[in-house]
Structure formats: C-alpha cells, structure tokens
Structure 1
Amino acid sequence: MPSRPRKTETDETGPVMAADRVYDAIYAAVVDHRLAPGTRLREEELAETFAVSRTLVRQALHKLAQDNVIVLRPNRGAQVPEPTRRDGEHVFDARRVVECEVARRLVGRLSAAQLAELKQIVEAEARATKSQNKQEAIRLSGEFHLKLAQMSGNPIFVRLLEELLPTTSLLMALYKAPGEPMCVAHSHKSLLQVIGKGDSAAAAGTEMRRHLNEIERSLSQPASRAPVPLRDVFKPYRPAA
C-alpha cells in the first residue's frame, strides 16, 4: 500500500498504529468494492466505528486524500470518489505504461519460488471467482498486479500502481456489469505463462497490454449500488470489546 501515517495511539491491547488501521481499512474497502463510489466518510461515525479519536481519523483521511484514494471537499468532508469514463482513460493509459514495462522486465528474471507464488495467487483467484466470493477475487486480482510490480524491483512502479488500483476498482464498481470479476483469472494465467517462458520481453508487454485493454473495454453502463452503513463495512476492523 502507499506510505502511511506514523502517529500511534494506545488502546486496551497496548500501542497500535491506530491511524494506519483506519487508513488500511478504508483503502481495502475502496479496492474490494465494500465502499461504493460517492459514499460519505463522516469523521464522527468512523471514530466511533474504529474506537479512535476524530484527530486520528482526520489524519488517516488526509493521507488517503494525498494518495488519491478518497477526496476531501470543502464543507462536505471526505467522500469516496466517483471517477468518470474520462478518468478511466487516464488511469488505463498510466497502467499500460507502468505494467507493460513491468511485464517486459520480469521475463527471464523470476525464480521458481516467485513463479510458484504468482501461480498460487492466480489459482486462489480462480477458486474465489468460482465460489462467487467477489471481495476475495477482487483482492487477489489486485494482489497479483501489485506482486508483479514488487518483483520488478522498482518501488516507484509499486507506488504508482498502489495509487491507480483504487480508482480502477471504483471504475469497476461504477461501469462494470454486475457479476463480472474485476480481472479474469484465466487472463492472469496466460500472462504468467508468457512471463514464465522467459523468451520474449515484447510478447510479455503485448500480453499485459491485451489484458489491460480487456479490462477497460469491459466498462459499459453505469451500475447502481445501495449504500452500506460504515459500521457494517468496517465491522471486521473494530477492536474486540
């Protein structure tokens, strides 16, 4: 994930990175579609939900806004963005630049252990998709793309992708037909096969471009979603009573 706040707060379990916990939970909820585009993020409600001070909530929200995960609007507070189709064009342009280069660089450089790790993610994504566990499939899809960037050895690629994934996920929530996965697991399998062969950097870049184009083309009609109360969205992150 992007860089995080460092201020600590103490609860019953001892010192914890409370602002980090809020940051991570909101980031994850945006990426895996538990927070719908346009959702208001009220400081008081978040503070009660996470059992932390509003100061720490505000700190996390400001960092999320800096990382382009949420937006802060004057007199309206924090809100999950509602990216336009034009925003989507910009996001996928950027992803093609970064991830096609990542794919090219990885050809012939991955160890057997790294290839096995990527294969495990792809197989787990396929199982989640088959069992209709949408949130897990979305999480694993993002993990696959991030893991490739991490394995490239360039931390700037990783940071850029961390900033692009939340907007990509919001575009999926807004414009992708209900029931379709964020990425197609078999596409990840094909991409991994090309990278693993180690004989053509150009072919790997082409396969990544084809995959990203496939995702972008899947964006169609705006989809409506009923809002979910923040307390329900972040229930797993609440500290134990």
Structure 2
Amino acid sequence: MQSPNLSMYVSTAGPKSSTRDEQIVRELLQAIVDRRLRPGTRLPEDSLGEAFSVSRTTIRKALQKLAQQRLVTMEHNRGAKVAQPSRQEAADVFMARRLIEVALLPVVHENRHSKAYEELHELVLKEKAAHNAGKFQEEVQLSARFHVQLAVATGNLILGEQVAQLTSLSSLIISLYGTRSSVGCDCGEHSELLALIENDQIEKAKVWMDHHLDAIYQTINTNQDTSDDIDFKSMFGV
C-alpha cells in the first residue's frame, strides 16, 4: 500500500489508494502541510463527516491513521486535534532528518544519472521561480518535495517513505514555530547541494546538508498562535 505521505510529495510514486478514509487522510495531510489546518486546531468528527459527506466512523479511521504518524493527537472524550509538537519533539525530528538525509547522499551520488535524480533539477527551478514571485507557500511545498525526491533518488522506497513522514512533521513544526527564513536562501539553495553531488564532492555535500537542516531548525520560535475557527465544509466540501 502506497504511503499517503510519499504519494503527496512524489507524483510518480505509484497509484493512490481509492479507499475513502485514505483519500481523507491525504486531504487532511495536505491541509496540515499547507498550513490551512494550524497546529492545535480541533478536528470534530461530525463537522468533518459533514464536510466530506461520510460517516463519523470513516473520519475516525482517517484521524487514527494521522495519529499514528504523529500529525494528529486524539484524547479520550476530547476528540482529535492537529498535533502541537513540543520544542523537544521538534529537535528530535530535525535530528532524525540530519542523521538520515546526510547518510543517504552517497547513494544519491551513485544514482545521479537516474530519472528520479533529474527531477531534482526541475524542482530547483520551480522553487527559485516561486521564491522570485514571492509565492512563499508554494516555495515551502517545493522545498519539502525536493527533500523527499532526494530520498526517492536512492531507489529505496522505504527510505523515501521515512523521509516523507519526517518532512510532513517538519512542515507541521515550521507551521507552528517557523518564520519566512525557515526556507529559501537563508538556509542554503538546493542547487548548491546538486552541484556538490555532481562534482563528486560527497563529504562537502554531507556538511552542506547537515548545516542546511540545522539552519532551518535554528529559525523556529514558539511565538505562533493557533485558531479553531475553521469552516471545514468550505475547506473540504465535496
């Protein structure tokens, strides 16, 4: 079964599941990553059921799957809400990303002539265009896709799924704590990484990636507000 996280970031990752609860998982996941659903936002089953035109049971199944990915928290008698990662959880996520994404670079180098690797250049061009056009949210999405595609370029699907899940968590963390400097040139342009890989400078590429992810983490702060005033029917209505 295709990971909802991976299929959200990588269009060539395979067919998407057709079950209704998994479609809802993808839509809620996209809304969380896009910052339309902010950390701490309550997710009432009845309102979501009405918005998606499904039963509360189907909504509950979708929320449980998101809870397994740490993107939603569910409390007895209090319902579900978008997760609010603590500062320590944020540190743990970025540490995991640094360990994994630095280590995968030699394998990416070995596969640098693959179609999956070529797509990294296309993402860099799109990312720069979004930055120049001031399309911040699109730039955030493309930055996330770049990191997932980098893992996909190893040819290891399991690795791609792990990075996709960590990237989704990172997007949630940036949504809660991040600033405009959490993406973009301030943390290093992705074209710099590709140049190092293609010039066989793998050790320098590892240092670049470690600094890049640490620089993003260093931009986060805890002064972000959350809101429960959400019109689910307008957001998800079918």
Under a length normalisation based on structure 2, what TM-score does the superposition of the two structures give? 0.84
Runs of at least 5 residues in structure 1 that lack an aligned partner in the other structure: 5-14
Identity %: 31
Q: 2:98 aligns with which of 93, 96, 99?
A: 96
Structure 2 vs 1, CA of residues 16 and 91 (structure 1 numbering), >3 Å: closer, same or farther?
closer
Contact 2:102–2:206 at 8 Å: present in 1 too?
A: yes
Structure 2 vs 1, CA of residues 112 and 164 (structure 1 numbering), >3 Å: closer, same or farther?
closer
Structure 2 vs 1, CA of residues 227 and 189 (structure 1 numbering), >3 Å: closer, same or farther?
farther
Aligned equivalents of 2:190, 2:234: Cα separation in 1:
29
1:76-112 Cα deviation digits (max 9, x unpaired): 1111111111111111110011100122321142116
- Judge which range, 85-94 or 166-175, deviates more: 166-175
User: Counterpart amino acid of 1:231?
Assistant: F
Aligned equivalents of 2:183, 2:235: Cα separation in 1:
22
Aligned equivalents of 2:90, 2:43: Cα separation in 1:
23
Offset at 1:163?
2.2
- Give the aligned partner of residue 27 of structure 2: 25
Aligned equivalents of 2:143, 2:233: Cα separation in 1:
24
Aligned equivalents of 1:2, 1:152: Cα separation in 2:
17
- Give the aligned partner of residue 108 of structure 2: 106
- Judge which range, 106-115 or 160-169, deviates more: 106-115
Query: In the TM superposition, what are the counterparts of 1:49-128 in structure 2 within 5 Å?
Result: 49-111=51-113, 113-128=115-130
Structure 2 vs 1, CA of residues 105 and 146 (structure 1 numbering), >3 Å: closer, same or farther?
same
- Give the aligned partner of residue 215 of structure 1: 216
2:136 maps to 1:134 = yes
User: Counterpart amino acid of 1:175?
Assistant: Y
Contact 1:183–1:215 at 8 Å: present in 2 too?
A: no
User: Counterpart amino acid of 2:128?
Assistant: A
Contact 1:129–1:181 at 8 Å: present in 2 too?
A: no
Structure 2 vs 1, CA of residues 227 and 75 (structure 1 numbering), >3 Å: closer, same or farther?
closer
Offset at 1:26?
0.9
Structure 2 vs 1, CA of residues 162 and 93 (structure 1 numbering), >3 Å: closer, same or farther?
same
Contact 2:182–2:217 at 8 Å: present in 1 too?
A: no
Runs of at least 5 residues in structure 2 that lack an aligned partner in the other structure: 6-16
Aligned equivalents of 1:147, 1:109: Cα separation in 2:
12
- Secondary structure of the equivalent of 1:33? coil
Aligned equivalents of 2:163, 2:173: Cα separation in 1:
15
- Give the aligned partner of residue 44 of structure 1: 46
User: Counterpart amino acid of 1:31?
Assistant: V
Structure 2 vs 1, CA of residues 132 and 27 (structure 1 numbering), >3 Å: closer, same or farther?
same
- Give the aligned partner of residue 11 of structure 1: none
- Judge which range, 90-99 or 28-37, deviates more: 28-37
Structure 2 vs 1, CA of residues 216 and 203 (structure 1 numbering), >3 Å: closer, same or farther?
same
- Give the aligned partner of residue 202 of structure 1: 203
Structure 2 vs 1, CA of residues 116 and 158 (structure 1 numbering), >3 Å: closer, same or farther?
closer
Contact 2:33–2:171 at 8 Å: present in 1 too?
A: yes
